[in-house]
Amino acid sequence: MPATNKRITGIGSALVDVLINETDQFLQDLGKTKGGMTLVEDHEIELILSKTSQSPLIVPGGAACNTIVGVGNLGGDARFIGRRGEDTYGKTFESQIISCHVEPKLSISPSSPTGKVLSVITPDAQRSMFTFLGASTELSPAGITPALFKDTAISVIEGYLLFNPDLMMASIRAAKAAGSLIALDLASFEVVNASKTILLDIVKRYVDILIANEDEAKAYTGFTDEISALEVLSRDVTYAVLKVGKRGSFVSFKGKITQIDPVVGRDPRDTTGAGDLWAAGFLFGIANGFSIEKSGQIGSACGYEVCQVMGAQIPETAWQRIRALI
């Protein structure tokens, strides 16, 4: 890719994260298996919140947005495409991503509230998500044009868009028409299981960078061992990434597998956004022409730092440590 073309553009759900710390028993009482994501209505989130004594933390969120905010904070050229409500949540969302050096391309719904994700964080730092998509579902495929992806090196397409195949295809085709590489994060094992047929075709025809964690890789490939899973993940793409939590990650590129070490330090407080921020560091590195090793190192640093705080917003002091690696 041209050295002057370093922009990373993300498209996905503009969501506000609502985070609470709770017990495993709390999840069991809700009938929720730990991990993954469940689509709910707004009133269901309010019902769950009524069952906890914890005070929620409210921050901007959404998988692709988390990644793009990370790129902006790294000093990259960052843009986010989405749709928000004309409400306090939506205005806060937009102002906060601007403060993180992200160019917003947000349409506004006059009638639907801004979407939100309730993340229940258990003592092992795992998060279980309840998602109300709200205004984000109104992002129209007809409005997704190549102009939105102008001068973009890498387009981050949120895996959750697979639940809206028309929007997914409009996004990919517009990004490709603008000359961008396509990075797809598989998002969750539920997404993979629910979208397997269309997903396999999209990866084969359009995707350049495929990113998965262990659960998503198992759902996609059927394999639990890293080498076999990477072999399948890399079959139709240029870069295949397998994230293995606190053991680090693996990147397959041109038949070579590179192991990326994790950053070792304090135990995680909350894993919300860990994969999204890992992707921010890695994709920032690739867009800027860094080696796979260095790109992965930046990704690991981002993933580590976000696990030290509640939510996906890394504080400035931590960003300074990460930028020192660059």
Selection from 292, 277, 195 nearest residue 241 by Cα:
292
More confident position, 1 or 253: 253
| Averaged confidence pLDDT in the chain | 93
Domain at 7-12+63-109+141-325: CATH code: 3.40.1190.20
Kindly give, in sequence order, each residue whose CB lies less than 8 Å from that of residue 245, ignoring residues fewer than 6 positions away: 213, 214
- Do the beta carbons of residue 17 and residue 311 sit within 8 Å? yes
Contact (Cβ atoms closer than 8 angstroms) between residue 276 and residue 70: yes
DSSP state of 149: G
Q: How far is CA 21 from CA 56, 122, 270, in A?
A: 8, 6, 9
Phi, psi of 131 (to 5 degrees): -115, 125
Contact at 8 Å (CB) between 10 and 80? Answer: yes
Cα atoms in the 13 Å half-sphere on the side-chain side of 274: 25
Report the alpha-carbon distance of residue 314 to residue 206 in Å, rounded.
32
Please return the burial class of 320, using the count of CB atoms within 10 Å of its CB with bins 0-12, 13-18 and 19+: exposed
* Model confidence at 257: pLDDT above 50: yes
What confidence score (pLDDT) does residue 265 get? 87
Quick one: pLDDT at residue 3? 46
HSE toward the beta carbon, residue 191, CA cutoff 13 A:
27
Helix/strand/coil for 240: strand
Share of the chain above pLDDT 70, in %: 99
Using one digit for the tens of pLDDT, what is the confidence trace for 7-55?
999 999 999 989 999 999 999 999 988 887 888 999 999 999 999 999 9
Q: What is the pLDDT of residue 217?
A: 97
pLDDT at 2 over 80: no
Q: What is the pLDDT of residue 4?
A: 67
Q: Which two tokens stand for residue 267?
A: 């135990």
Identify whether the C-beta of residue 163 lies closer than 8 Å to the C-beta of residue 194: yes
pLDDT digits (tens, 9 = 90+) for 155-198: 999 999 999 999 999 999 999 999 999 999 998 899 999 999 89
**Mean pLDDT computed over 252-268:** 92
Residue 35: the pLDDT is: 84
Mean pLDDT, range 271-295, rounded to an integer: 95
Per-residue pLDDT tens digits for 92-128: 899 999 999 999 999 999 999 999 999 999 998 888 9
pLDDT at 1 over 70: no
